[in-house]
Amino acid sequence: MNNRFNHTLSVTPAGLRCLTIPVPASRSLTLLVLVRAGSRYESRDDNGISHFMEHMFFKGAERYPDTMAVSSAIDGAGGSFNAFTGEELVGYYVKISSARKNVAYDVISDMLLNSKFDSEEIGRERGVIIEEIRMHHDDPMSQVYLDFHRLVFGDQPLGWDIAGPEENVISMQRENFLAHHQKHYHAGNCVVVCAGDITPQEHEELCRKYFIFPDEKRSRNRLRA
């Protein structure tokens, strides 16, 4: 049995890659945004910021101003969502009924493009991150993974803990998140993947509608002026 699915890749004028994997028999879809902003692109001073930022994207933006608004929008549409940080990539995804696909595009794009990085929320989330770091160090399997990477790759980004050291997490401020976001979260550094009940044309149209990055937004405003 052939389990391979055909896929289509298109690129918007802004440079955003849109990958579509149609599954005609499905009545749902998964929307996944991958950003080339994993821990290998960090320095010693900001090690851990990619993972911390992943948490902060769920804390509120323009159209969905807080955690409750984000979760209510997805849960209310019968969907589920999550995120992950690796050495190479950070990923954000929503699984939802194809009849409610606009919700997925709207929520994820708002999170990634318009996040507030509120200082109070950053302060609250520090404790969550630190507890997560300590939990991994207390778990033998997680500690073996960390030690393996340190021994294989040495004292460089691929050998460091993705979550970073506690002292980095404690020192990170709003301006650090804004600088990291500006550096990595732009159209040419992202891929938006959609698999399920959707056509390539629909996917690209929704990407163009919702994923308007700051540079593109400024260009459009200049043209209107």
Which one of the listed residues 54, 125, 204, 216 is annotated catalytic? Answer: 54
Beta bridge partners of 28: 97
Strand order across the beta sheet in which 190-196 lies: 8-11, 17-22, 190-196, 28-35, 90-97, 80-85
Nearest to 106 by CA among 67, 76, 55, 70: 70
- 32 phi and psi, to 5 degrees? -130, 130
What angle (nearest 5°) sits at the alpha carbon of residue 73, between those of residues 70 and 75?
100
Q: CA-CA distance, 74 to 147, in Å (whole number)?
A: 37
Sign of CA pseudo-dihedral 195, 67, 174, 105: positive
Alpha helices in the chain (DSSP H): 49-56, 67-76, 101-114, 119-138, 140-153, 166-171, 174-184, 200-210, 214-224
Active site residue 132: no
User: 213 with 159: CB under 8 angstroms?
Assistant: no
Which residues carry out catalysis?
A: 54
